Amino acid sequence: MNTAASNSSADIGSVIFVLILIGISVALYMLPSIVGWRRHVVNIGSIVTVNLLLGWTLVGWVVALAMAARTNPTQLERQR
């Protein structure tokens, strides 16, 4: 008799699972941009552009991650 209620709670659980899965996928896809932003990389715009436009190719994602992880010049070097 409570099949409608049990189906409704199962549907909500499925929706929540899918939303969590989408959130994790987006976070992993945008990981190079997040790393660059957290490290205050100078060329963050380039990293985000490569990540958004070429990240789906995996090669573009790795390039964006390498750009985000490379050595960041110190504050003194930036002023020169």
Domain positions in the chain? 3-79
Q: pLDDT tens for residues 5-57?
A: 566 777 898 999 999 999 999 999 999 999 999 999 999 999 999 999 999 99
- Listed residue (77, 57, 73, 76) closest to 65, CA to CA: 57
Q: Is the pLDDT of residue 71 over 80?
A: yes
**Token pair 């490569």 in the structure block, residue:** 50
Q: What's the predicted TM-score (pTM) here?
A: 0.76
User: What is the distance between the alpha carbons of residues 42 and 62, in angstroms, rounded to a whole number?
Assistant: 18
Distance CA 41, CA 47 (A): 9
- Burial tier of 52 (Cβ tally within 10 Å: 0-12, 13-18, 19+): middle
3-state secondary structure (DSSP) of residue 18: helix
